Amino acid sequence: MSDLEMEQVRIQLSEKKEVVDALRNRKQMRRDKEGEYFPVVFNSQEVRFRSGEPKVFGGSVARCLLRSNYIILGDDLTGEMTHVLEPVDSYSLNDLVGNQKCDYCEKLFETPKRLAAHMAAEHSAELGVNADPPESNKPYDKPLAITPPAKSVETAASA
What separation in angstroms does the CA of 4 have from each of 42, 91, 93? 17, 14, 9
Question: Going residue by residue from 42 to 81, which x/- string records binding to Zn ion, judged by CB under 5 A?
Answer: ----------------------------------------
Phi, psi of 69 (to 5 degrees): -115, 105
Least Å from the CB of residue 127 to Zn ion: 10
Residue whose CB is less far from Zn ion, 71 or 115: 115
Rule CB under 5 A: which of 139-158 touch Zn ion? none
CA separation for the pair 147, 138 (Å, rounded):
16
Dihedral sign (CA 47, 51, 55, 59): positive
Region near Zn ion per CB under 5 A, out of 12-20, 22-30, 104-112, 128-136: 104-112
Residue whose CB is less far from Zn ion, 86 or 110: 110
Q: Which of 6, 64, 88, 105 contacts Zn ion by CB under 5 A? A: 105
Phi, psi of 51 (to 5 degrees): -55, 130
Least Å from the CB of residue 92 to Zn ion: 23
Phi, psi of 136 (to 5 degrees): -95, 0
Size of the residue set binding Zn ion (CB under 5 A): 5
Do you know the residue count of the chain? 159
Residue numbers of the site for Zn ion (CB under 5 A)?
102, 104-105, 107, 122
